Amino acid sequence: MKPVIALVGRPNVGKSTLFNRLTRTRNAIVADFPGLTRDRQYGDGKLGERPYTVVDTGGIGESEEGIDRPMTDQALQAVGEADAVLFLVDGRAGLTAADQQVASELRKLPKPVFLAVNKTDGLEPETAMADFYALGLSDLFPIAAAHGRGVRAMMDAVLTAFPEAEPEEDAVDNPDTVRVAVLGRPNVGKSTLINRILGEERVIVYDHAGTTRDSIEVPFTRQPRDGGEPRDYVLIDTAGIRRRGKVHETVEKFSVIKALQAVDAAQVVVLVVDAQDGITEQDLHLIGYTIEAGRALVVAVNKWDNLESDHKDWVKREVGRRLHFAPWVKVHYISALHGTGVGDLFAFVERAWDSAFIKLGSNALTRMLEDITGSHPPPRNGRFRAKLRYAHLGGSNPPTVVIHGNRTESLPNSYQRYLENRFRELLKIEGSPIRLELKSGD
Ligand code: GDP
Ligand code: GDP
């Protein structure tokens, strides 16, 4: 399992600096998508072969009056969902009242808390830490987040508390199993949709559901409508619909961490939103993370039956506007309750999976590259012009086109986008991100 580590600490102690250092392998989700809230940040990182997720809980004890409740609800929720807590303090500023307040809350937690004494660069570590033993936490680490000092040793200790990740085991033993996660805020209709899918005549649900953390994995096979071979699926159900059965009274709290873990465990993400609300900030967060993770993505705007017809065009425009940064994301307008559009949605999930796992030899891909550069060659950049020679597929989910050539680093971004769009078109990639990797021979 991939442990989730929450970063807490007063403003200015170095949380963002540490966050950036810990998530270098894949940066924060929200990276370049405009309009996303930045109250909490999630990122993935690795120490050697051991992956983890870091959550920066934002500042605590920010306001003067906040001193009696130093942890915001947000921070508390993140801490509650995390497997371990990294409590950051400032070794130069010394111990503060807010630090003591936070420590007393953290000591009550039934989970490991690690105290990172930051900014110890140029200080004698033992002297810098001396103050902080008073916090009553036993695992202290002197670090300098800005320089990386001590970070590795600390993370090593943090991760030792968790078992090494086991290789993913498919509930259905087939490499072509389609792993789908159905995500969305509470009450948008996820369980209605899942029950609708699993209740279909052409679906056989197997009885050996597995669990990953808080989600349940439901294996099933489904006969495609066109009469082709049945396909194996695993449905990753974060809402716990199967466990709870039909009873669905308590509206669960939306857990971002749970959702992100489901994204990691899935190949295709179906994001369900309520037609009345459209795509919310939280949905955009999830979309950003899903695309960063390279997963295929389908958006289902549910409860379409609830809308007056003159409102529908407006909703469609709004949805399009919010998704302008990823025009390839397909939107389906459905009614899970009545079953309208669900079949098409599912057919598209299959297409998105096929796109994500496309196979093509280097010769065919290189011919495409020649066509693409032939009709519109790379522009000159100063004295240089990139030369693109050949291409091969370097990976799936997301499909990754590796292009070999010379001076590829001089290719302008606009041309890279052109390449990406043309490859998307020619490879008929639908509903999945696509990546380009440029290699230079000189
Ligand atoms: P946050 O508010 O907790 O996220 O803190 P930041 O990461 O924004 O850091 C606050 C300030 O502390 C910035 O000016 C950083 O450059 C500085 N800082 C962070 N880590 C270190 C460190 O290891 N040593 C020193 N000397 N300064 C640091
Ligand atoms: P979840 O929390 O996302 O799993 O949402 P549920 O599936 O429990 O649905 C929440 C509520 O929305 C229930 O009362 C459903 O009957 C209702 N609902 C779900 N899908 C639709 C739909 O397509 N149209 C309408 N009108 N209501 C729906």
DSSP bridge partners of 210: 217
> Cβ of 307: how many Cβ atoms within 10 Å?
16
For the CA of 194, the nearest atom of ligand 2: 7
CA distances from 138 to 92, 97, 133, 135 (A): 20, 19, 8, 9
pLDDT (0 to 100) of residue 410: 86
Six-digit token string for 7 = 């970063």
For the CA of 334, the nearest atom of ligand 2: 23
**What is the tens place of the pLDDT at every residue in 350-407?**
999 999 999 999 999 999 999 999 999 999 888 888 899 999 999 999 999 999 999 8
pLDDT (0 to 100) of residue 31: 37
3-state secondary structure of 20: helix
> Cβ of 190: how many Cβ atoms within 10 Å?
24
Nearest Cα residue to atom 22 of ligand 2:
303
How far, in whole angstroms, is CA 369 from its chain's centroid? 31
**What is the tens place of the pLDDT at every residue in 45-63?**
888 888 888 888 765 654 4
Q: Is the pTM of this model over 0.95?
A: no
- Please give the Cα distance from 282 to 290 (Å, whole number): 12
Binding-site residues = 9-16, 56-60, 118-121, 184-191, 237-241, 302-305
Average pLDDT, the chain: 84
> Cβ of 171: how many Cβ atoms within 10 Å?
21
CA of 49 to the centre of ligand 1 (A): 27
Whether residue 282 contacts residue 311, with contact meaning beta carbons closer than 8 Å, is answered with no
CA of 192 to the centre of ligand 2 (A): 6
Nearest Cα residue to atom 17 of ligand 2:
189
Ligand 1 pocket test: which of 8, 10, 12, 62 has the largest number of ligand atoms within 8 Å of its C-beta? 12
> Does residue 5 have a pLDDT over 60?
yes
3-state secondary structure of 380: strand
Six-digit token string for 75 = 């921070």
